[in-house]
A and B are shown apart, each in its own frame.
Chain A
Amino acid sequence: AAGVIQSPRHLIKEKRETATLKCYPIPRHDTVYWYQQGPGQDPQFLISFYEKMQSDKGSIPDRFSAQQFSDYHSELNMSSLELGDSALYFCASSLKGGNTIYFGEGSWLTVV
Chain B
Amino acid sequence: AQSVAQPEDQVNVAEGNPLTVKCTYSVSGNPYLFWYVQYPNRGLQFLLKYITGDNLVKGSYGFEAEFNKSQTSFHLKKPSALVSDSALYFCAVRDGGNNDMRFGAGTRLTVKP
> Is B truly associated with A?
no
